[in-house]
Amino acid sequence: MTKETNPLIRKLGASIRLSGEERTVLTDLTRTRRRFASGKEIIHEGDTEHRAFVLLEGWVSSFKILRDGSRQIVDFQIAGDFIGMRSVLLRTVDHNVEPITDIVAASIHLDEVMELFSSQPRVAAAMMWALSADEAIVVERLVSVGRRHALERVAHFLLEMRARLRLVGMGRQQSFPCPLTQYHLADALGLSAVHVNRVLRQLREDTGVTFRGGVVKFGNIDRAMETANCDMGYLDHGGLILE
């Protein structure tokens, strides 16, 4: 079997054993591809028309802007992730989405998804699983920001991104490419950029983790895990949920 290159198939294939037909359905779902440039919002808070995508290449951030202009990043999306599905049933979109890099994404339409739910219940279950796991990431971020020290937050975040990237076949055991800036980390983790900078220095000294030139490298995964003071069980990457 050739190595699967469609990241949605890779991701959903981690939760159910996809048949040939199911792979074809997912290939069709992601056939209409578009490029979007970094830095240009593709979804805007308050929109009444909902847009949803599957991200195929690149990174995006989902965030809210407060009245005082400060930003809270809700999550980052990477290849294989859904974009804009969370609020698709709400009257208005409750967050903004902006590509961090140039991206390739496939538009998906709610009626296609609904059709999938009746014709392909296993694929639907895998999609629901993926959306549940995405929500578990947001919940865990709330735990981090509410109750973890800055050093734990940053270590935990980097380990989480490593695990998410590996699920879709990106990054290596000890490193991954990462286009985020210290401002992204700050706004995701409820810290200031200055604080993130200080914490990254401490993390390097304590555990050998480096974040330079767009690459995160772990000197020692176990030590980083210890510093993060958590396990990754909530990501639910434990194998198939459906044979």
User: Which residues, at least 6 apart from 163, have a Cβ–Cβ distance to it below 8 Å?
Assistant: 232, 235, 237
Query: Given the rule CB under 8 A, which of 76-84, 88-96, 170-178, 198-206 is the region that contacts a second copy?
Result: 88-96
**The pairing of beta strand 71-77 with beta strand 82-83:** unpaired
By CB under 8 A, name the one of 28, 39, 135, 197 that touches a second copy. Answer: 135
Per CB under 8 A, 206 contacts a second copy: no
By CB under 8 A, name the one of 2, 49, 146, 205 that touches a second copy. Answer: 146
> For residues 103 and 53, is the Cβ–Cβ distance under 8 A?
no
User: Which residues, at least 6 apart from 137, have a Cβ–Cβ distance to it below 8 Å?
Assistant: 75, 160, 164, 234, 235
By CB under 8 A, name the one of 10, 86, 162, 184 that touches a second copy. Answer: 86
- Least gap, CB of 125 to a second copy (angstroms): 7
> For residues 100 and 184, is the Cβ–Cβ distance under 8 A?
yes
The structure tokens listed for 57 are 């290449």
Residue closer to a second copy by CB (options 47, 102) is 47
- Residues within the interface to a second copy (CB under 8 A): 46, 64, 66-68, 70-72, 74, 86-92, 94-95, 117-118, 125, 128-129, 132-133, 135-136, 138-143, 145-148, 187-190, 229-230, 233-234, 236, 238, 241
